[in-house]
Amino acid sequence: MPASKRPLGRYRIIDECLSNHVHGPWQLEELREKIIEKLDLHDLSERQLKEDIRKMRDDPDLAYYAPIKNRKGEGYFYSDKTYRITESPLSPAELRALCEALSIMQQFKGLKFFQGAEGIIHRIEANLEQRELLEVEFDILDRYAGLENLEPIKKAIHEQKVIKIYYRAFYEEAEVPRHVHPYLLKEYNNRWFLYGYTEEYDSEGVYGLERMSVAIEETDKKYRKPDKKKIKAYFQDIIGVTNLADRKVEKVILKVKRQRANYLKTKPIHVSQQLTGREDDEHEWFSLRVKPNPELIAWILSYGPDMQVEEPASLAREVKDTLTAALEQYG
């Protein structure tokens, strides 16, 4: 690999050399040979090495500000014998970036993905001023039931453990025990779902985390490894998480009023979404290739009178029937 592609490796080796105070000052050629040896390079120019030393001393983006001196006739050394780049404090720009990342992470109160990093977080916070205004905010419901199941499921996926869950669908009266080989945690519309293989059904599917009524149990059953292509195929032709086995992928044509069409252009609902090229003074037409499911119908209904299903006729009837039933609620 060219030397120019490994700057961080070169900085680390220069730091190791100049921190070796038993050796004394390092000649430029000694540093060059050490870097070539450690990084298995074909060559390293003197010009590149001098530029690396300059950046370690002065570059504000690196923010090492290494106390490198060059004593004529002897070589390069650290004037501060306690200095190491690995102990260099964070720059103000780095602190700001970490603060912004931290403010985002802290919004996901149910996610314990960052356990073990508390000490780092406290050190970052100690170097930052408290902010009165949150600059980036997500639409997150911290009272959402089921968040407590995220961490044990994530752990089971990582450790490839079969879990026993007690699941109660909204239409069922009692919890049903199921042995699930967990493959994926997926969020949709502020709800979390587990995708995995269920032994009792000999099939793969999704479970809403809020419908798992008691603690998740790990088992000693042999884990069935996931088929990544199968997981991708499950989600690629649907909106949301409901993949109905008796439905096929269809071309959906949507007629959308112009004032709402821009919302659809700037936030596509599915990767297959396209403009058909058809339009008039008041409307534009869009196409999708998806399996119709409840999430698709709910999304269409959210556009109210601004969206109309033209194809397929079966989906248009489903939307119409839903609207009719809704109107009947109001007499």
* Rounded Cα distance, 301 and 196, in Å: 30
Domains of the chain and CATH, by start = 3-87 (1.10.10), 91-140 (no CATH), 147-236 (2.30.30), 250-328 (3.30.70)
The pLDDT value given to residue 130: 46
Residue 321, class by beta-carbon neighbours within 10 Å (0-12 exposed, 13-18 middle, 19+ buried)? exposed
Please choose, from the candidates 207, 212, 213, 200, the residue with its C-alpha nearest in 3D space to the C-alpha of residue 182. 207
Check if the beta carbon of residue 27 is closer than 8 Å to that of residue 71.
no
The pLDDT value given to residue 140: 59
Spatial neighbors of 150 by CB under 8 A, at least 6 apart, are 110, 111, 112, 185, 192, 209
Could you tell me the CA-to-CA distances from 139 to 134, 136, 188, 190, 275 in Å, in that order?
13, 10, 12, 8, 29
Residue bearing tokens 């042995």: 179
Is 181 in a helix, a strand, or coil?
strand
Low-confidence ranges of the chain (pLDDT < 50): 1, 116, 118-119, 123, 126-133
Indicate the pTM of the whole model. 0.62
DSSP state of 306: G
* Rounded Cα distance, 273 and 318, in Å: 21
Bridge partners of 166? 177
